[in-house]
Structure formats: C-alpha cells, structure tokens
Amino acid sequence: MSVLRVEKAVYDSIRSHGEETYPHECCGALLGHNTAEGWSIEASVKAGNTRTDSAHNRYQIAPGELVKIEREARGQGLSIAGFYHSHPDHPAQWSQTDLAEAHWLGCSYVITAVAKGVAAQTNSFRLAGDTEENKRFELEQIEVHEPVSK
Amino acid sequence: MTIFIPTPLRAFAAGKDAVEVNAGTIAGALDELTQAYPDLRKHLFTSEGRVRAFVNIYLNDEDVRYLPAKDATAVSSSDTLSIIPSIAGGC
C-alpha cells in the first residue's frame, strides 16, 4: 500500500476547505515530490469549483486554472501530486463519477467527508494503472507529519 | 518552444517535466513530441488522431480549442504548450 505523507498544516487546510464550502464540494490541488513509497505533499492550492450547476455533488477545476497552478508548482520546485475534494454528507469514498473523471495516473486523490458542516474522515486513493482502460483507485495510507526543518 | 508534461504523462516521456521542440505550429509541436516519445501518443490522441476529450492543450494561457486556427496556430520559440488532463468528479 502506498503512503501519502502530508504536512499537518496542509492536511488541516484541505479539511477545513471542505467546511468552508459546505454544503458544496470544495476542490484543490496538492503539490509535492514523488518518493518510492508515494507522494510527499508540501502544499495545497485551493481551486474554484466550476460545477456551479451541481456543486453539492460535483466538482471540476478549470484547466486554465491548472495551467497557473502547475506554473506556480514549477516555481516552487514541486509537482502536482494530486487533488483533493470534499463529499458533503457523503462518505470519503471514491464514486464511479470520481473514477470516470480521474485521468491523473499515478497521482493521489484525497477525499474528505464533511458531515453537517464538520470535516470527518479523510481518505486518499492513488490512481493506479497505466491507461484509461486499466485505471483504478487504490486506497493509500495517509501519514500526517509536522513540517520538516529545511 | 517548451511543452510542459503533466505529472501522469512524465513516465512516458523519459521522466521529463518539459520537452523542447522546434516546430512552427501547435500540431507540429505535438507531432514532434510524440515522434520523440511514441508512448505518449495513445495518451494524447484517439486512434483517429484527434486529441482525447479529457486532454486540454493550452498555448501559453489560452485553450487551443478556442483559438481561431486551433492546432494550426503558429507558435514561436518563446511560446509554451501545457498538456492538462481534466480534473473533475463528485459524490
């Protein structure tokens, strides 16, 4: 099982983002480095949810916004490691919609259940496989840690 | 010009996050990219040679789909292409 290492401040930030946008889904990008065990997340970037037509159960990040996020990541020497979003009053489990719309192979998709406005379970799933035809989500362990001195 | 390779496609581009090409149009740049890294082709294009629906190509900060000349748009050495797979989902 791969391990997603994430700094505590970042972990808290993505969970509280879901509380801020409740009852709508929040979304954002995770920035970090890839390691043998899995991604090490150093930063998160909040993104806009363009699915204003159905924000309570759908999210989409505008590609143009991702161009800017990727540029920002390059400037910090980081890669886009994955994405996070929330499930308002719904389990922190990937849905068929999540899988159908997932195309960032090898990246981590973090989901937080937000129950009645309060962040509950947070899970991470790595998008395994090497094609659209064999892609699948695999549960990964989340390891929250204090910032590492640089 | 520089083509930025997104995280999920770097394994098919020898681990590179950016590739330099020397082409006159967007289509030419993508062709040069997939000539250099043939494993990228199936991830970027359908069997009919069209860009896959979930693959977004940006010339600098503009979506190529909405450029008047689309992928026939001329490019210069200072331009960049970004390949951005879509990100969406929901419960």
Measure in Å the smallest separation between the Cα of B87 and chain A Cα atoms.
6
pLDDT digits 0-9 by tens, B30-88: 999 999 999 999 999 999 999 999 999 999 999 999 999 999 999 999 999 999 999 99
**How many CA atoms lie within 13 Å of B56's alpha carbon, on the beta-carbon side?**
19
- Domains of chain A: residue spans and CATH: 3-145 (3.40.140.10)
Task: Locate the chain B residue with the closest alpha carbon to A98.
Answer: B89
Q: Total structural domains in chain B?
A: 1
Q: How far is CA A7 from CA A16, A40, A55, A93, in A?
A: 14, 8, 28, 22
Chains A–B, number of C-beta pairs less than 8 Å apart: 92
> Is B23 part of any domain?
yes
Closest-CA residue of chain B to A74: B17
Note whether ipTM > 0.85 here: yes
Domain span including residue B34: 2-85
Q: What is the pTM of this model?
A: 0.96
Q: Judge whether B91 lies within some domain.
A: no
Phi, then psi, of A58 in degrees rounded to 5: -145, 150
Is B90 a domain residue? no
Q: Tell me, what CATH number does B81's domain have? A: 3.10.20.30
* pLDDT tens for each residue of A80-138: 999 999 999 999 999 999 999 999 999 999 999 999 999 999 999 999 999 999 999 99
